[in-house]
Amino acid sequence: MEINKELIMIGQRAKNAARRLAFAGTEAKNNALHAMSQALLEHQAEILKANELDVQAAEGKGLRKSLINRLRLTTATIQEMSKAIEEVISLPDPVGGGEFWTRPNGLRIQKTRVPLGVVAMIYEARPNVTVDAAALCVKSGNACVLRGGSEAIESNKVLARVISEAAEKSGLPEGSIQLVAMTDREYALQLMRMNKYIDVIIPRGGAGLIQTVIENSTVPVIETGTGVCHAFVDKDADLNKAVSIVFNAKTQKPGVCNALETLLVHEDIAEKYLPLIGKQFQDFGVEIRGCEKVRQILEYSKQAVEEDWGTEYLDLIISVKIVKDLDEALDHIYQYSTKHSETIITENYTTAQRFLHEIDAAAVYVNASTRFTDGGRFGFGAEIGISTQKLHSRGPMALPELTTIKYMIYGDGQIVT
């Protein structure tokens, strides 16, 4: 596959920038981040104007309301992005930390953290990812190449220009933050083959995007997963907690990967609990797709089909199933989970511990909403994505996950005998 000349130039600039960023000091990186944070506030009007063009285009194409909500920026969200950068400044620099030990032959070995190099992000209609990814890459000493979706192209062009100019004016090398403004799918496929310039690709978006990157990339991929997230309301649940947690997990922001998609309810409390959560969902406009037992209790629910149990709706739709016990809930989650975030609502300590230890997922909760699976809410400042794989990282990927290991060995003439 022949690589576009403009992409090659982006790759070359990124590679050159990464070489210098790898040994940039913490103060220099933090100064650049502060400049980026302030630039967002100073250019709010320009950012909002560009975003309105994206929103209008999305509405014209008939995109779902939940996706348009992910796309839309406001003064408040720009201030949140600025604040997120300031939080990254306050976090420890992950580069350079590590261990030191001496071998019997006198060799002194230092295991230290170093940047990955050039990180490429391929993502969909969330302009805040442009800022979060750039901030985390700068702090961890990586150059970043950003390729957002066509739905947010006008917003991303302004955001990337504003923060990259601020970073360069503060002293970071040219090419530290770059946006691929060509939205044709062909350029994304070419980006996935740029092993000479890119060290790792991180896809962030729906199942289709992630699968496309996994199947086509020759550059190493860190997989951020789709979220078919489950909640199991146990027979020993506090029903008030169960209503509050499940409602929040489904409706607080339905178009994100940590939103709840499937509700499992213990048969012993189904007749008491389902009418309570069902009314909340009805009033909010959530479509319920239930198994036969659910439909006997909630007559207004629709029939769930096999496809529903594995679907990430990203919308005000939820699949609901009544299960016999914890074992059936665990079996269901094992079969359909994407290993993102799962939660149990129960007051039974033994049941909670079984759920925590037997569920294979990046984040497992007891009596809390799955919406907490987020770098900011975990205290990481921001995140570059939620990894659902087991190599090289898992869960919210923040600063330490954007570094790798290097061994530095100090000798005094030692040789192997």
**What does pLDDT average to in each consecutive run of 10 residues of the chain (417 residues)?**
94 98 97 98 98 96 85 96 94 91 96 97 91 96 96 97 98 97 94 97 88 94 89 98 98 93 98 98 98 97 97 95 98 96 98 98 97 89 83 87 95 95
CB proximity list for 127: less than 8 A, separation 6 or greater: 51, 54, 71, 73, 148, 152, 155, 156, 159
Domain that includes residue 29, residue range: 5-225+389-410
- Tell me if the bond preceding 357 is cis, omega within 30° of 0: no
In this structure, the answer to whether residues 266 and 144 fall within a common structural domain is no
Give the pLDDT confidence score for residue 111 in this predicted structure.
96
Give the pLDDT confidence score for residue 97 in this predicted structure.
75
Alpha-helical regions (H) of 174-229? 185-191, 207-216
Give the pLDDT confidence score for residue 275 in this predicted structure.
98
In this structure, the answer to whether residues 192 and 286 fall within a common structural domain is no
The CA distance from 371 to 353, in Å, is 21
- Domain of residue 113, CATH code: 3.40.605.10
In this structure, the answer to whether residues 208 and 244 fall within a common structural domain is no
Whether residue 380 is contained in a domain is answered as no
In this structure, the answer to whether residues 266 and 398 fall within a common structural domain is no
Rounded (5°) CA angle 288-289-292: 120
- The whole-angstrom distance between residue 326's C-alpha and the CA centroid of its chain comes to 29
In this structure, the answer to whether residues 80 and 106 fall within a common structural domain is yes
Give the pLDDT confidence score for residue 389 in this predicted structure.
84
In this structure, the answer to whether residues 180 and 280 fall within a common structural domain is no
Tokens of 90: 């306050």
Report residue 213: phi and psi, to 5°.
-65, -45
233 to 137, 274, 359: CA distances (angstroms): 39, 10, 15
Whether residue 381 is contained in a domain is answered as no
Q: Which residues of 214-241 are buried (b: 16+ CB within 10 A; e: fewer)?
A: eebbebebbbbbbbbbbbbbbbbbeeee
Whether residue 189 is contained in a domain is answered as yes
In this structure, the answer to whether residues 266 and 319 fall within a common structural domain is yes
Within 10 angstroms of residue 162's Cβ, the number of other Cβ atoms is: 20
**How many domains would you assign to the chain?**
2
The CA distance from 94 to 82, in Å, is 21
Q: Please identify which residue in the block is written with the tokens 């921001």.
A: 382
Whether residue 72 is contained in a domain is answered as yes
In this structure, the answer to whether residues 258 and 351 fall within a common structural domain is yes
Give the pLDDT confidence score for residue 65 in this predicted structure.
82
In this structure, the answer to whether residues 140 and 185 fall within a common structural domain is yes
In this structure, the answer to whether residues 13 and 162 fall within a common structural domain is yes
The CA distance from 262 to 246, in Å, is 10
- Domain of residue 297, CATH code: 3.40.309.10
The CA distance from 396 to 175, in Å, is 26
276 to 229, 273, 298, 357: CA distances (angstroms): 21, 5, 10, 29
Give the pLDDT confidence score for residue 63 in this predicted structure.
86
In this structure, the answer to whether residues 214 and 278 fall within a common structural domain is no
Whether residue 384 is contained in a domain is answered as no
Element (H, E) at 366: strand 363-366
Tokens of 365: 């909760």
Angle between helices 239-251 and 270-284 (to 10 degrees): 30
In this structure, the answer to whether residues 48 and 196 fall within a common structural domain is yes
Tokens of 127: 């302009």
Whether residue 379 is contained in a domain is answered as no
Give the pLDDT confidence score for residue 64 in this predicted structure.
82
Give the pLDDT confidence score for residue 113 in this predicted structure.
96
Whether residue 382 is contained in a domain is answered as no
Whether residue 44 is contained in a domain is answered as yes
